[in-house]
Structure 1
Amino acid sequence: MIKLPFTLPSRPPVTRIRKCDAAQLRAPAGPRTQPMRGFEDHFVDIVDYIVRITDEIWMERAVGRIYDTYDASCTIYSSYGVVRSVEEVIAGTITTLNAFPDGEIHHLNVAWSGDEDEGFYTSHLGHSRSTHVGRSSLGPGTGRRSSIRFAADCVSRDNRIHTEWLIRDNGAQVRQLGFDLHEVARRAAEADTLEHFIVSPETRLEGQTPRKLLDLPTDTLDGWARHMFHNIWNLKRFDWLARYYCAAATVHAGGGRVAQGVRNIGALYLNIQAAMPDGVMRVEHVCHSEENDGVIVAVRWVYEGTTAPGGVLGECPAGKQVFMMGVSHMRFSGDRIVEEWMIFDELGVLVQGYRK
């Protein structure tokens, strides 16, 4: 039997959601299987908590449940800026539901780490389908359907989410609804009111010592992930992709892009990095799930650099300092990745590029 390339930490078994019927996930659950001090009694574990509150808010339209499950001064990060209150979360949810009133959510994976003392970290990979009926931030209702993936990484404790990183594949949605990606980005940049991040990527000074391999163990989950991202994104060792991906692996990426096979996955990486050819990758969190179809490793990352036309951002403004937030969920078979969902929001990066 081929083993994983890393050792997984020991922890309690939790709800599995992949290849499970949606009605089964929404049915009343059994007794609690994981210590969760302060959480409502009917949640059996942290995965069950994320799945149920998502369905309550977005499928059952119990928008007021946000008051019960988000901290009053919660902080939400996205490629567009920072939100710092539950009232802004409520307002954004109402606006989205009005624009897409028939929206439905499908759960693809919930990776996690932590416990009731330090708080739980969850990385929720989902898929939404909806019809664009009302006005949204993208433009007036079109009557068209869209189908996109999203990732919501949250830190929760005592039944409330206090920090979240939200990434939606808005690039794919813009194209499916028939809008021009750059025109939408320009309008959003002009109307921008959010608090902004400070972007300060590392620089490659002339004569600087070349980057080296990381001095970290490779047999831990966190160490393996950091080595992989550093080697591909920072050291640019695309010739090492076969060390991580199986020959027929599939990557579902932002903008609705799909790459199958190591050669095409390499072309996808080149296309993304060409939009910020001096970019620097930073891994911010690593967690995992043990699912019905294998182990899935979730990595939240930020790629920072200077824009250049010709890559995944198209004919974007050149020379602008921007960042791309991303979440990658990588499913393993043995010691190689067989499927990956690489979620990023190219529209959010373009909005940064068009800001004055």
Structure 2
Amino acid sequence: MLPFTLPERPPVTRIRHRARRHDTPADARTQPMAGFEPQFTDIVDYIVRITDEIWMDRAIGRIYDTYDASCVIFSHYGVTRSVEEVIAGTVTTLNAFPDGEIHHLNVAWSGDESSGFYTSHLGHSRSTNLGRSGWGPATGRRASIRFAADCISRDNRIHTEWLVRDNGAQVRQLGLDPHDCARRVAASPGFETVLLAPETRLEGQAPRGALTLDPTTPDGWARHLFHNLWNLRRLDWLPNHYAPDATVHAGGGRVASGLRAIGQLLIHILAAMPDAIMRVQHVCHSEETDGVIVAVRWVLEGSSKAGGVLGDCPEGKPVFMLGVSHLRLDASGKIAEEWMIFDEIGTLAQAWCA
């Protein structure tokens, strides 16, 4: 039994444990999508198809059809502010990793044709570094990483996106040193940092208390979960939320199986910024072949400290970690599997800034 009540909404494409959707002709549209091209049956089908067209079929020009001219994309490395920058970034990436392939793991969503659709796309890519990349000359090595792209789209065009790639896993598989890569990013002229104003971990003189949001909605449930574990640091409550044999696939290629290992993983992340505050920025969900998946976009803000996932980094620097978690629930309502996507190289680069 789920710990929350799902809202009623139109049925959409399911992609987990299925072959590529667009190898077959589109079915009749199942969801109102005014302004979208007629071949897209629903918002999940839209995201999957345009991703494969651009990255697998090399239809780079489709970006002009599916991204707004003044689109804004947020990442650890700065802000992209036009469709021409998206085109340039795509060309550069395809040149560095020309044999790339993409596998779709989940697309959670919310919204409608009037207000716009929000999608959280969890994917897995495999590719060989055969050209120069942002990390330096080609290594000839193969890398396999996960990514998350959260997008807001309306009238067939994406106008806002948050992009997180597991670059920590990528640079290690390419045989590179994470700190060398982070210093290279920090020294690059295009690297853009943000001004942080994290809240204090106390409310006045007292520790923070529990949230008062309704926990019977997917949004309220997720916000309670992240607040309890990350802000209140109540890792003893993990059994309330995770199945005993749950698995977490985290940034840097890390995997934790079982409650004890999951708790240690969270401690390892917090150790890199022990004063951090967790902010949940958006929640949506999917009803997939193997259960309901709740997608959470979050940011962890604090001061850097050596010893956690950031390794021997400069200490006391204001840093943030942008992340996206997809949480798959089992029949009992507990989390059976989580994909926690974050980019430790982007966070390290902030710590290495002068």
With the length of structure 2 as denominator, give the TM-score of the two structures. Answer: 0.98
Alpha-carbon distance change, 28 to 214 in structure 1, aligned in 2, over 3 angstroms: same
Aligned residue number for residue 328 of structure 2: 331
> Is residue 2:288 matched to residue 1:294?
no
Amino acid aligned to 2:346? G
Match of 1:12 among 10, 13, 22: 10
Asked whether the 8 Å contact 1:34–1:45 carries over to 2, the reply is: yes
Match of 2:341, SS? strand
Are residues 1:71 and 2:71 paired? Answer: no
The alpha carbon displacement at 1:309 in A equals: 0.2
The answer to whether residue 138 in structure 2 is matched with residue 138 in structure 1 is no
1:303 lines up with 2:300 in the alignment: yes
Percent same amino acid at aligned positions? Answer: 71
Q: Distance between the aligned counterparts of 2:197 and 2:177, measured in 1?
A: 29
| Aligned counterpart, 1:86 | 83
Q: Does 1:354 align with 2:352?
A: yes
Provide the C-alpha distance between the structure 1 equivalents of 2:284 and 2:318, rounded to a whole number of angstroms.
Answer: 29
Q: In structure 2, what residue type is equivalent to 1:171?
A: G
One-letter amino acid of the counterpart of residue 10, structure 1: E
In 2, the alpha carbon distance for the partners of 1:26 and 1:281 equals 41
- 2:40 is aligned to 43
Matched-pair contact (CA < 8 Å) for 1:138–1:184: yes
Q: C-alpha distance in 1, partners of 2:203/2:69?
A: 47
2:228–2:234 contact (8 Å) kept in structure 1? yes
Give secondary structure in 1 for the equivalent of 2:207.
Answer: coil
- Out of 340, 343, 356, which is 2:341 matched to? 343
Q: Distance in 1 between matches of 2:179 and 2:94?
A: 24
SS of residue matched to 1:51: helix
Residue aligning to 1:199 = 196
Counterparts of 1:176 and 1:126, CA distance in 2: 18
After TM superposition, give the deviation of residue 206 of structure 1 in Å.
9.9
Mapped contact 1:233–1:281 kept (Cα < 8 A): yes
Aligned to 2:205: 208
Cα contact 2:186–2:352 (8 A) shared by 1 = yes
- 1:204 Cα deviation (Å)? 3.8
**Which residue type is aligned with residue 312 of structure 2?**
E
**Does the aligned pair in 1 maintain the 2:73–2:161 contact within 8 Å?**
yes
On the 8 A contact 2:327/2:337 being kept in 1, the answer is yes
Deviations 1:162-207 (A, max 9, x none): 0000000000000000000001110110014144322111124696
Whether contact under 8 Å (1:275, 1:309) holds in the other structure is: yes
Q: What is the alpha-carbon distance in structure 1 between the residues aligned to residue 285 and residue 45 of structure 2?
A: 15
Quote how far apart the aligned CAs of 1:300 are: 0.3
One-letter identity of the residue aligned with 2:42: D
**One-letter amino acid matched to 1:12:** P
In the TM superposition, residue 220 of structure 1 has moved relative to its aligned partner by 1.1
Which residue identity lines up with residue 308 of structure 2 in the other structure?
A: G
Amino acid at match of 1:45: D
Q: Is the 8 A contact 1:330 1:341 kept in 2?
A: yes
Amino acid corresponding to residue 114 of structure 1 in structure 2: G
Give the structure 2 partner of residue 121 of structure 1.
118
CA distance in 1, matches of 2:14, 2:175: 36
Alignment partner of 1:175 out of 172, 176, 185:
172
Q: Distance in 2 between matches of 1:211 and 1:98?
A: 49
- 1:107 equivalent in alignment to 2:123: no
Deviation at 1:27, TM superposition (A): 2.1
Residue 82 of structure 1 contacts residue 194 of structure 1 at CA under 8 Å; is this kept in 2? no
Contact 2:193 2:350 in 1 (8 A): no
Question: What is the aligned partner in structure 2 of residue 244 from structure 1?
Answer: 241
Unpaired runs of 5+ in structure 1?
A: none
CA distance in 2, matches of 1:70, 1:143: 32
Conserved 8 A contact 1:82-1:196: no
Q: Which digits, 9 at most, give the CA deviation of each residue in 1:195-248, with x for residues without a partner? A: 432211112469622100001111111110000000000000000001110000
Q: State the TM-score, normalized to the length of structure 1.
A: 0.98
Q: Is the 8 A contact 1:83 1:195 kept in 2?
A: no
Of residues 159, 162, 166, the one that matches 1:162 is 159
1:312 match: 309
Q: Which amino acid aligns with 2:323?
A: G
Distance between the aligned counterparts of 1:206 and 1:30, measured in 2? Answer: 53
Which residue pairs with 2:273 in the alignment? 276
Q: Does 1:219 align with 2:213?
A: no
Structure 1 residues 51-100: Cα deviation after superposition (integer angstroms, max 9, x where no partner): 00000000000000000000000000001111111111000000000000
Residue among 216, 230, 235 paired with 2:232: 235
Aligned CA RMSD, in angstroms, stands at 1.1
Distance, in Å, in 2 between the alignment partners of 1:184 and 1:300 is 25
| Secondary structure class of the residue paired with 1:111 | strand
| In 2, Cα distance between equivalents of 1:341 and 1:108 | 10
1:254 and 1:195 mapped to 2: Cα distance? 22
8 A contact 2:147–2:165 mirrored in 1? yes
Contact 1:82 1:197 in 2 (8 A): no
Q: Is the 8 A contact 1:279 1:304 kept in 2?
A: yes
